[in-house]
Amino acid sequence: MVSLSFVGYAWSQNTNNHKPVAPKNQQAEQPKGNPSFDTSSLEKTIREAVKEATEKPDPHADEKAKADRQLVEYTGELAAFTKWLVAATILLAAIAIWQGVQLMRTVDLGREEFIAAHRPRIILRDSTTEQFMGELIVVEYILSNVGDAPATIVSSAIRVNVFQG
């Protein structure tokens, strides 16, 4: 109920009926003051005061000029210092990029070293041979991983040399 009253109030303020207060043929006029008051003497006094102020030398002009020169000099020094700061920042950014590249190389080398140090190690634990009827030789062997990383055997081969004695 409250929101409807605010909306209604806002709508009542936004009417598109903008009519001038005075009729179109009537001009607005300033109320006339006391006709005995003369502004020409006031204008004359103001002109004289402005003329006197412009003709007087400023007693602080030298101090102001000196302060302005010092400000210009300080601003120039500040600009030069800012240029050095920009150059130093660019140098620091280049060094940071170089260090990042070196860090990545070090991490990669550490990873390769870890993999090399913790690789799988396959050893032969046991092997036996049997010969059946002079022709077939059976070789059995056991391989074991004694390394730090898991291993997968993808192929195996054995060479047997038979010596007649």
Instruction: Specify the pTM.
Output: 0.43
Question: What is the distance between the alpha carbons of residues 99 and 111, in angstroms, rounded to a whole number?
Answer: 18
CA distances from 151 to 100, 121, 146, 158 (A): 34, 8, 10, 19
What is the pLDDT tens value at each position of the chain, 165 positions in all? 444 444 444 444 545 555 555 555 666 555 555 556 667 888 888 888 887 777 777 778 888 999 999 999 999 999 999 999 999 999 999 999 999 999 999 999 999 999 999 999 989 889 888 877 767 778 888 888 998 889 888 888 877 777 776
DSSP 134: T
Helix or strand run (H / E) with residue 44: helix 40-55
Question: What is the distance between the alpha carbons of residues 77 and 80, in angstroms, rounded to a whole number?
Answer: 5
